[in-house]
Amino acid sequence: MMLPLASGSVTWYLTRSTGAVALLLLSASVVLGVADVRRLSSERWPRFVIDALHRNVALLSVCFLVAHIITAVLDSFTSISLLDAVVPFIGSYRPFWLGLGAVAFDMLIAVTITSLLRQRIGYTGWRAVHWLSYGSWPIALVHGLGTGSDTKGTWMLTLDLLCLLAVLAALASRLPPVFSEHPERGRLTLGGTGAFLVFLAVWVPSGPLASNWAKRAGTPTANLHHEPSHATR
């Protein structure tokens, strides 16, 4: 039997840490992809090296995500099954916010599989699925804010903000050429980004950072009685 949350379960700490690292690596992968860092290639850093960096960071993020899921399943504080990790919105613990994590995971698994089979499915098919990696990032961010036990912590808020700013900076670097080549795509990207920022500005203060969020998020009553006062899990 694992130690309860209040006693400092090892799996609980591993779940928190692997989740934070997975978000950081996923953000780095998105930044590398969105900013199209291949344009920065040089004799010292040829394009294939930068491509390999992007690919390896993406695979590493998936590895930490798998570790995050496994430790969450093993943690005795919550009743999360492996099925909950791949089938969205069926769990008993914060079903909606946990379900967003399952959605992001499924999207990344699809990207990983198609990347491994790229030679078989062709560039067009791979590229179409690859766009899911960019869509998974905001979903993963919201999942972490909605379920994370450290959401109110200064260090976690700082990490979330840095990841957000990094992705926004990458988007800002890409928008000018996108607008010149594909105006409709540029407007769609700009509008979607603006809507997401407005959503975060309204939801985060009234949701994860507000009092009683654990109960409102769908935490089972049995778990609420054992949560430390500083946690939002």
Domain edges within the chain: 5-224
Handedness of CA 147, 152, 158, 164 (dihedral sign): positive
pLDDT for res 116 = 84
The CA-CA-CA angle for residues 131, 31, 156, to 5°, reads 110
Write out the two tokens for 47: 């394009």
Question: Based on the number of CB atoms within 10 Å of its own CB, is 194 exposed (0-12), middle (13-18) or buried (19 or more)?
Answer: exposed
**Angstrom distance (rounded) from CA 81 to CA 217:** 18
User: Which portions of the chain are predicted below pLDDT 70?
Assistant: 1-8, 36-45, 225-233
Interacting residues of 152 by C-beta distance below 8 A, sequence separation 6+: 208, 209, 230, 232
Four-point Cα dihedral 206, 211, 212, 217, nearest 10: 30
Helix and strand element counts for the chain (H, E): 9, 0
pLDDT for res 118 = 84
CB 99 within 8 A of CB 88: yes
85: left (phi over 0), alpha (psi -120 to 50) or beta: alpha
Closest CA to 173 of 38, 42, 23, 60: 38
In this prediction the pTM is 0.87
